[in-house]
Chains A and B, each alone.
Chain A
Amino acid sequence: MEATSRTFKDNARRALVEPDLQQALARMKAGFVVNRAAAVARLPEFDALRDEARAIKNHTLAHLDFYLERFEQAVTAQGGHVHWCRTAEEARRTILEICRSVDAKMVTKGKSMIGEEIAINDYLAANGITPVETDLGEYIIQLRHEPPSHIIAPAIHVTKKQVADSFYAAHTNLDAARKLEEPRALVDEARAMLRQRYLDADVGITGANFLIAETGSTVIVTNEGNGDLTQTLPKIHIVTASLEKVVPTLEDASTILRVLARSATGQEFSAYTTFSTGPRRAEDLDGPGQFHVVLLDNGRSALLGTELQDILRCIRCGACMNHCPVYGAVGGHAYGWVYPGPMGAVLTPTLIGVEEASDLPNASTFCGRCEEVCPMRIPLPKLMRHYRERAFDKGLTPPLPRLALALWAFLARRPRLYQALTAIKVRVLGALGRKRGRFHAIPFAGGWTRHRDMPAPEGRTFQRLWDEAGGAR
């Protein structure tokens, strides 16, 4: 996917005035935020489980090689295959080879952020294989030729009228006069259209929320059942997953699952949580004949032992973006790549480079809401600040802010000079502003005064007044 993170500011500016998007974001805040709070209120053990979830992931990351090797052993013992891929390119080629091995023409896909990350759809299409997204949200954005704008609700920005328009345009074999006004009709139509695709697909590709080292299982968490139809019906089931998805045991997965759906949508458990282990057994009546796990690194292993390691705990629940006031103002497309919101602000510069994505960790007030709701207790603001430090050290800060900051620091380090100069400045501004109490415009402060008045200073500094009052030092 071509990243537009460089133009975050322009993207954001446009997004702020798009009425459909703004309505959708309002709905999201009323839905996900309220529902998560209700689910948390219903589970007294929630915070204890978050601590345990963090501990499980930290332990796993400390022994990542051990658990990945165990996972591979267990998959292989069941008759499956694990393909280790360092890069997106290796992953794409591996998937293509597997598809070609059965002369695949059409592939169904369950939702997979890794699939987006490696841009597998365009690659398969370019190589003569048709990918069909089956998650309703992904299907909608596939028709609209758009990237996802949220990691669990990819079409959250699309109105029902826009969905209807896409369906009218794409489902040309249906009666053009049919009514598609209500969500019910849209869901029923998607169900009908995709039904035959599931049955005809040669290969099914899903993501994985977890990889279980103990049993060699991969886990998907869905509500629609599309991931299950995708993996059960075709000849081959391919799982695309990044390294850090592995957890040790079924019990560990259960602990983390308790906080996943609640954090994401406010459900206690998703409608379908499936543990898949290997291809069909000899005595099974259905199931894929082959089971392949494409295990992707793409920058994860490089984070181990660094200040950014904590982002590897992310379980892709979306709680951070649901609660982020910046995401809530501009939506996911503004972030310009696969992963939006606070976790995207950390992961995107990691995966595509600080230069490409420098706005993302900067477009935050560090309000801390993301960290507050993260089920894995990832210190997102701290990680974003880390990227700000990296950018600063590389000299990527634009010159004017850098100069202003340097000037501020220069003065602040020299209290007596600072106090002399500021006393003068506030006297002037205080005098100018005394009558009205505020400024409508101030030179060099256009960023502030474009949208709000600047309250005038009282006119004397506290330090000077304290001296005059003979206060204790």
Chain B
Amino acid sequence: MSAAREQILATIRRARGAGDDATFHAAAEQRLQRRPRGTIPARVDRAPAALVDLFVEQARALSATVDRVASAADVPAAVADFLARENLPATLRAAPSPEIEALPWQDRPALTVTYGRSDGQDEVSLTPAFAAVAETGTLMLRSGPGHPTTLNFLPDTHIVVLRASRVVGSYEAGWAWLRDAGAMPRAVNFVSGPSRTADIEQTIQLGAHGPRRLHIVLVEDGDGR
């Protein structure tokens, strides 16, 4: 359909009137390089520890549950306890990321942990988080060989292991880290609480198509804690 492409672009250029495209677009080119930020809300203007607290407060307000643990070594126990509390089976479909694989799952042998994507038969998934945005209590999940996207959406319960040092204030700070981490992944999922809908008489119901439950295990590996 390149005739369509040319015609559409020609219409756009005609609307602008005569002029050298390259010179005119120099400003846009520079802007793309500069990537200016807009106003960042003042609420994220706080020290890292306070940002973590803000993240937790916001996430809980969105019906995510948050467990704060002192170190990575405590994660398997925290997960096992959560599953028991919620009457969920002691089976996890986990993201094959080094961070998750390195956790001491052997401390909880009753937990069955398998790694890979989800095919829709898993009740509980467990993934890492690339970052978390304190501004709105939002997790930033980055797809890749260590983090299949289906784990974020198919299972009924999604558990996220989040390191406190990965909490940032704003989305812009998250993007800066993402750019440093390499090429754009296939999917960046910003997740704020469990799935929900208000499509039936405007009453909010959790668990529309994505997970009904979002549980965050927050590992306090940050500064000053």
A-side residues, CB < 8 A to B, are 24, 27-28, 31, 43-45, 48-49, 52-53, 56, 59, 62-70, 78, 83-86, 90, 94, 134-137, 140, 153-156, 159-160, 163, 183-184, 186-188, 190-191, 194-195, 198-199, 213-217, 223-226, 228-229, 232-233, 243, 248-252, 254-255, 257-258, 265, 267-281, 283-287, 297, 301-302, 304-306
Beyond A287-B149, A302-B11, is A223–B208 a contact (Cβ under 8 Å)? yes
In the complex the two chains form, is A27's CB within 8 Å of B9's CB? Answer: no
On chain A, the residues within 8 Å of B190 by CB distance are 269, 272-275
In the complex the two chains form, is B36's CB within 8 Å of A251's CB? Answer: yes
Beyond A65-B21, A66-B25, A283-B144, is A272–B36 a contact (Cβ under 8 Å)? no
* Cα–Cα, bound, A85→B8 (Å): 8
Question: Which of B31, B120, B190 has the most chain A CB atoms inside 10 A of its CB?
Answer: B190
On chain B, the residues within 8 Å of A86 by CB distance are 4, 7-8
**Interface bits B35-75 vs A (CB < 8 Å: 1, else 0):** 11111011000000000000000100010000000000000
Within 8 A of A (CB), among B94-143: 96, 116-120, 135-136, 138, 143
In the complex the two chains form, is B192's CB within 8 Å of A270's CB? Answer: yes
In the complex the two chains form, is B195's CB within 8 Å of A271's CB? Answer: yes
Q: Is B169 an interface residue (CB 8 A)?
A: no
In the complex the two chains form, is B15's CB within 8 Å of A304's CB? Answer: yes
In the complex the two chains form, is B203's CB within 8 Å of A183's CB? Answer: yes
In the complex the two chains form, is A45's CB within 8 Å of B172's CB? Answer: no
Q: Is B187 an interface residue (CB 8 A)?
A: yes
Beyond A223-B208, A254-B38, A285-B116, is A64–B198 a contact (Cβ under 8 Å)? no
| Given A153-B198, A155-B199, A280-B186, 14 additional A-B pairs, CB 8 A | A52-B38, A53-B38, A86-B7, A136-B200, A153-B199, A183-B205, A232-B187, A255-B38, A255-B39, A268-B135, A272-B191, A284-B186, A287-B143, A304-B15
Q: Report the 4 A-B pairs with minimum CB-CB distance, sorted nearest first.
A: A225-B210, A255-B38, A304-B15, A224-B208
In the complex the two chains form, is A277's CB within 8 Å of B186's CB? Answer: yes
Q: Is B76 an interface residue (CB 8 A)?
A: no
On chain A, the residues within 8 Å of B78 by CB distance are none
On chain B, the residues within 8 Å of A274 by CB distance are 187-190
How big is chain B's contact interface, by range? 35 or more
14 contacts between A and B (CB under 8 A): A43-B41, A45-B39, A66-B28, A136-B197, A184-B205, A225-B195, A226-B208, A232-B153, A248-B31, A251-B35, A277-B188, A283-B144, A284-B148, A297-B11
* Cα–Cα, bound, A271→B135 (Å): 14
Contact check: which of B1, B148, B198 meets A90 at CB < 8 Å? Answer: B1
* Cα–Cα, bound, A62→B8 (Å): 15
Q: Is B202 an interface residue (CB 8 A)?
A: yes
On chain B, the residues within 8 Å of A285 by CB distance are 96, 116-117, 145, 148
Beyond A84-B5, A301-B8, is A187–B35 a contact (Cβ under 8 Å)? no
Beyond A27-B202, A271-B195, is A254–B145 a contact (Cβ under 8 Å)? no
On chain A, the residues within 8 Å of B117 by CB distance are 285-286
* Cα–Cα, bound, A229→B7 (Å): 35
Contact check: which of B1, B21, B136, B200 meets A187 at CB < 8 Å? Answer: B200
Beyond A251-B172, A285-B116, A287-B143, is A278–B186 a contact (Cβ under 8 Å)? yes
In the complex the two chains form, is B189's CB within 8 Å of A251's CB? Answer: no
In the complex the two chains form, is B153's CB within 8 Å of A228's CB? Answer: yes
Beyond A269-B190, A279-B186, is A286–B4 a contact (Cβ under 8 Å)? no
Beyond A251-B36, A269-B192, is A224–B201 a contact (Cβ under 8 Å)? no
On chain A, the residues within 8 Å of B186 by CB distance are 276-281, 284, 287
On chain B, the residues within 8 Å of A45 by CB distance are 39, 41-42
On chain B, the residues within 8 Å of A191 by CB distance are 207-209
On chain B, the residues within 8 Å of A90 by CB distance are 1, 4
Residue of A nearest to B158 (CB): A225
B49 to chain A, nearest CB (A): 22
Q: Is B184 an interface residue (CB 8 A)?
A: yes
B2 to chain A, nearest CB (A): 8
Residue of B nearest to A217 (CB): B184
Question: Which of B21, B32, B138 has the most chain A CB atoms inside 10 A of its CB?
Answer: B32
In the complex the two chains form, is A301's CB within 8 Å of B199's CB? Answer: no
Contact check: which of A160, A257, A304 meets B171 at CB < 8 Å? Answer: A257
In the complex the two chains form, is B143's CB within 8 Å of A284's CB? Answer: yes
Residue of A nearest to B16 (CB): A305
In the complex the two chains form, is A24's CB within 8 Å of B188's CB? Answer: no
Q: Is B152 an interface residue (CB 8 A)?
A: yes
On chain B, the residues within 8 Å of A31 by CB distance are 198, 202
On chain A, the residues within 8 Å of B29 by CB distance are 66
